Amino acid sequence: MKVIETVAEMKEARADMGVGVGLVPTMGGLHEGHLSLVRRARSADGHVVVSLFVNPSQFAPNEDFDAYPRDLGRDLRLLDAEGVGVVFAPAVEEMYPPGFDEWVEVRGPLTDRLEGAFRPQFFCGVTTVVARLLRIVRPQRAYFGEKDAQQLRVVRRMAEEQRLPVEIVGLPTLREPDGLAMSSRNSYLTPEERQAALVLPRALELGRTMVECERVRDAGKLKEALADCIRREPLARIDYVAVTDYETLEELTAIDRPALLLLAVRTGATRLIDNTPLTPHRSP
């Protein structure tokens, strides 16, 4: 496995690969969810490049950039065991050289709402770094997890707007045996908070049951029931409970089409997000 630290070397290595390149962009702190993206890329693409880069521009000054889990040795061992060909692990100055001014932004409701409302700098940071990675690595496919459902849709829109010739592939969220979505940030949780965090998968399950078994179609009623369920957990604080159109993430009042239920909840100091599709069956 080749570990590359500079943009120039990455471009040189890419020139030898031809077509059939898959990119898995990550910030390290790898878990099974990341490895499932790597495995899919390995099965679909001749060459797999995994990037490890904790991107400062997507964190606000009060967020967890400094605390974000960094263990390059462990990440490299995991990727080597998966048979990854190239790891791109640049320093900040490589991705953001002095005078860097190539910010890439998707504007409009897709980025203003939900995560965008709580983390105003987040999507511009993500689209800038992903666009830069796509221009350096020039993959035919790039892989992202559905756990970050809004990020996935924003990255897809960015690739279209920038006319980047890449397929953005979204893959299902991987969960711990008790239902908690895998996330690098789970490592911040104390044992008590880890237990409290189970309120997220519990609320998602309640949402699915209400829509798919009890045929609830009133999004307001659904959100109220889920907010009540989350509020019963003393360590949990809600940032949002949202019911949106599955593709556009426009807020719904009636659940009358494929929808997405999205949650952002703080457990102690840790902010967790999760989501589930809602499939309303037609009335007979």
Q: Catalytic amino acids?
A: 34
Draw the binding track, 145-174, toward ligand PAF (x: CB under 6 A; -: no contact): ---x--x-----------------------
What's the chain's Rg over C-alpha atoms? 19
Cβ proximity to ligand PAF, 60 vs 254, nearer residue = 60
Cα 249 from chain centroid (whole Å): 15
Draw the binding track, 70-109, toward ligand PAF (x: CB under 6 A; -: no contact): ----------------------------------------
Shortest Å, Cβ 210 to ligand PAF: 29
In eight-state DSSP terms, residue 254 is B
Mapped onto helix, strand or coil, the DSSP state of residue 123 is helix
Cβ proximity to ligand PAF, 168 vs 210, nearer residue = 168
Mapped onto helix, strand or coil, the DSSP state of residue 12 is helix
Shortest Å, Cβ 93 to ligand PAF: 16
| CA angle centred on 6, ends 4 and 10, rounded to 5° | 60
Shortest Å, Cβ 53 to ligand PAF: 7
The helix/strand count (H/E) of the chain reads as 11, 9
Q: How many C-beta neighbours within 10 Å does residue 159 have?
A: 20
Angstrom distance (rounded) from CA 265 to CA 203:
11
- Identify residues 109-138 at the interface with ligand PAF (CB under 6 A): 126, 129-130
- Identify residues 13-72 at the interface with ligand PAF (CB under 6 A): 25-27, 55, 58
- Interface residues toward ligand PAF, by CB under 6 A: 25-27, 55, 58, 126, 129-130, 148, 151
